[in-house]
Amino acid sequence: MLLFPCIVFSQIQVNGKVTDKSMKPIAGVAVSFLNSNIGTLTDTFGNFSLSSNDNSHTRLLIFHEAYLADTIDIIGKTDIIVRLEILQSIAGVTVKGISEQRNAYIGLQTMKTEVITSGELKKAACCDLAGCFETQGTVQPMTTNIITNSKELRILGLSGVYNQVLIDGMPLIQGLSYTYGISSIPGTLVENIYIAKGTTSVLQGYESMVGQINVIPKSPGKGDKLLLNAYVNSFGENHYNVNYYFGKGKWSNLVSAHSVQPAQKWDRDHDGFLDLPKLTRYMLYDKIKYGDENKNGFSTIIGLRYLWEQRIGGQKDYNPQTDLGSTAIYGQKIRYQQPEAYTKTGYRFSENKKITLIASGFMHAQNSWFGTVKYDAIQHNAYTNLQYELGWRNSHELKAGISYRYLNLDETISFSDTSLKRTYHGNYIKQENIPGLFAENTFKWRGDIITLITGIRADHHNQFGWQVTPRAMLKYDVTERAIFRASAGTGWRTVNLFSENIGLMVSSRNIVFKEALRPEKAFNWGINFLQKFSRKAVEGFMTFDFYQTRFQNQFFPDYDSDPTKAFIANFGGTSVSNGFQADINAKFYKLVEAKIAYNYLDVYRIVNNEKFQLPFNAKHKVLLSLSYIPKSKKWRVDLNAHWFGKQRLPNTDNNPEAFRQPKTSKPYTTFNVQVTKSWKKLEIYGGCENLFDFRQIKPIVSWQNPYSPYFDTSFNWGPTRGREMYIGIRYKPFKEK
């Protein structure tokens, strides 16, 4: 030391502690000198010690996947305390995103929240939101109209209408936009997807009965300045995406353009019907940001989007220019446009006080033909929410406010041919005015070892009067690596009959109204346990959860009583969904990521003391996902496999023998694989979905005569277009911000 005093006096030594906002220590936080490979992890008490002989190391990088990353200036400091801010809950309207160590993980929110990052989305083609759930087991995309390939997102085996899909925390997928909305958001625009199963916050409304999917589009100033993406599949369908960021001062802007050009005509099973529709789509999106909502003062986010889409499907020779409404050849054509706007504007008075105004609105105008059924509709939606946030007594956070929803839906149905003697033609008008008030309190005890959220809202429907929605969520950190969660609450919604049940108009069935529909209501409760594990060669987590949904009133078309009719009525009897899920997610030697998930679903109703399983639900389902990324990170391989057990199918015993279907489907497995090669500014990815080409052959009942009373397109229980190969390119010419 005496011989080398310059080395002694130039050494940097920093000791510190990392905590959350309530001063609870955080273990496992990565602490490193900025732009260096010198780092360490905090211990059980949040403490760390770090040293360097390089005087240029003047800042520390503090990182944990569940907290907002931070950098600290250490010039002249030897002992520091760092307080990290947790990522905001899905219960809040906006969730902050950072670059995650893991592409998919369970967040620290009070309700169980699965987080899918933009990195996870790169494991598959993810052309649109409906294709973004290939590597997780909670959400299951299901086709609702095989001819136009419209989809919904199911949770707990129940229709997608029972979970709430939000865009930047806004309810922009409702009514008419429900049918095609989840397919209209390109995967390249998505930053994070937050999936909460079971009861969620009352702040966004009363509709989520079984879960919530909050899609966060990429934010201005984060990520790539310019991203170009192009994709083509083996059917000839093309996708093009452009994201461009620019900004000045406190203002920043992200502009995105998206286009889909139609595929060629394919009919592999020779039933005369196209295996996939001819899809054309154009979308423009602009997200504007000012200020920082986590700092005192004014901040705002404004989102603007315009969407135009056309889908043409049906028999192979169908020409919409000459065959609309024709009985000589069957086809479907859907064309719609949807402009929308939303904003979240707030003013933060202090760390514990903030007021926020949230508002959104959209118009959806649609012109459609389903064979000889002409369906024209226009919808106007508006939503606003004024919310005040107050932190009090150091352990409580209260959020309270008022909200208002407006919906005006005008639908007109007519027939170009009356030989089937259908009687549901006419003009259907639905108007809703729903003011509401809400309050939600978050209480943390013993730091944040125990967190309890209790909320209640009361909404006044212009037709059905006051509706009260209570909810509660509990999180208990048993240890630093084990978390127990529980939730319970109610939800309700009104039915948009035709826009949410396109199959009613697609088939030849007559629609028979037995009574006026009342709001659907359900009670949901659930428990979840998460256990993290870490060894020298492996780290990860496993989760186990069970959720039950019981309906007090429910609607579903009765297809079983008469094969030529669909009966519309309320069902106030026993209708239950029981869902169990187990997941194991692990990373080996930081090279291989593996996930296996098992789902058990028991979805049934009791009619005349007899238990009926709801159709098109696999009681057992298994997912396996594997990824290999070498240390160079210049390429990667991703594989996932889905196994589906038997599904009950609707009863066709009253059909003529030629048009009867099996009572259950076959179990089947699909395999998807993708290889990605990366350079500094360029990525090329290619893969194959449904690698072994499993197909449900001739899924359309009475495809030989689409204008017979037995024509039905609702029997698709598995993939129908078979193997799909694709190749794509991502180009990022500028350095990531």
pLDDT tens track for 598-636: 999 999 999 889 999 999 999 999 999 999 999 888 999
- Mean of pLDDT values over 129-149: 91
Q: Residue 37 has what pLDDT?
A: 62
Q: Is 641 left (phi over 0), alpha (psi -120 to 50) or beta?
A: beta
Residues 343, 349: Cα–Cα separation, whole Å: 20
Q: Is 512 a residue whose pLDDT tops 90? A: yes
Q: Is 6 a residue whose pLDDT tops 60? A: no
CA separation, residue 297 to residues 170, 442, 653 (Å): 23, 24, 67
pLDDT digits (tens, 9 = 90+) for 400-429: 999 999 999 999 999 999 988 899 999 999
Residues 117, 103: Cα–Cα separation, whole Å: 5
Strands (E), 396-479: 396-415, 426-445, 450-461, 465-477
CA separation, residue 575 to residues 549, 570, 572, 611 (Å): 8, 12, 8, 10
Pairing of strands 465-477, 682-689: unpaired
Out of 104-118, 201-215, 527-541, 624-638, least confident range: 104-118
pLDDT digits (tens, 9 = 90+) for 344-377: 999 999 988 999 999 999 999 999 999 999 999 9
Q: Is 36 a residue whose pLDDT tops 80? A: no
Question: What is the DSSP track for 697-737?
Answer: ---SBTTT-TTSTT-B-----S-SS--EEEEEEEE--S---
Whether the Cβ atoms of residue 690 and residue 724 lie closer than 8 Å to each other: yes
pLDDT digits (tens, 9 = 90+) for 100-111: 357 888 887 888
Answer with the residue of higher pLDDT: 87 or 437.
437
Q: Residue 601 has what pLDDT?
A: 97
Q: Residue 101 has what pLDDT?
A: 52
Q: Is 517 exposed, middle or buried (0-12, 13-18, 19+ CB in 10 A)?
A: middle
pTM: 0.87
- How many other CB atoms are there within 10 angstroms of residue 666's CB atom? 13
Answer with the residue of higher pLDDT: 64 or 545.
545
Q: Residue 40 has what pLDDT?
A: 81
Answer with the residue of higher pLDDT: 688 or 23.
688
What mean pLDDT value characterizes the chain?
A: 90
The length of the chain is 737
29: which residues sit within 8 A by CB, 6+ positions away? 18, 41, 42, 46, 48, 62, 63, 64, 67, 84
Nearest to 674 by CA among 614, 597, 730: 730
pLDDT digits (tens, 9 = 90+) for 547-574: 999 999 999 888 778 878 889 999 999 9
For 455, the token pair is 């909320």
pLDDT digits (tens, 9 = 90+) for 71-101: 787 876 777 888 887 764 444 444 443 333 5
Q: Residue 736 has what pLDDT?
A: 55
Residues 303, 297: Cα–Cα separation, whole Å: 21
Q: Is 219 a residue whose pLDDT tops 70? A: yes
Q: What's the per-residue H, E or C state across 631-690?
A: CCCCEEEEEEEEEECCEECCCCCCCCHHHCCCCECCCEEEEEEEEEEECCCEEEEEEEEC
Map out the domains of the chain with their CATH numbers. Answer: 5-84 (2.60.40.1120), 104-731 (2.40.170.20)
CA separation, residue 218 to residues 97, 167, 495, 514, 629 (Å): 9, 11, 32, 46, 25
Percent with pLDDT over 70 in the chain:
94
pLDDT digits (tens, 9 = 90+) for 712-721: 888 889 999 9
Half-sphere exposure of 548 (CA within 13 A, CB side): 5
pLDDT digits (tens, 9 = 90+) for 452-495: 999 999 999 999 999 999 999 999 999 988 999 999 999 999 99
Element (H, E) at 181: helix 176-181
Q: Residue 533 has what pLDDT?
A: 92
487: which residues sit within 8 A by CB, 6+ positions away? 111, 198, 199, 471, 472, 473, 474, 524, 525, 526
Q: Residue 459 has what pLDDT?
A: 98
- Mean of pLDDT values over 144-165: 92
Q: What's the per-residue H, E or C state across 196-233?
A: EECCCCCCCCCCCCCEEEEEEECCCCCCCCEEEEEEEE
Q: Is 264 a residue whose pLDDT tops 50? A: yes
Q: Residue 98 has what pLDDT?
A: 36
Answer with the residue of higher pLDDT: 687 or 101.
687
For 419, the token pair is 């030989």
Longest CA span, the chain: 105
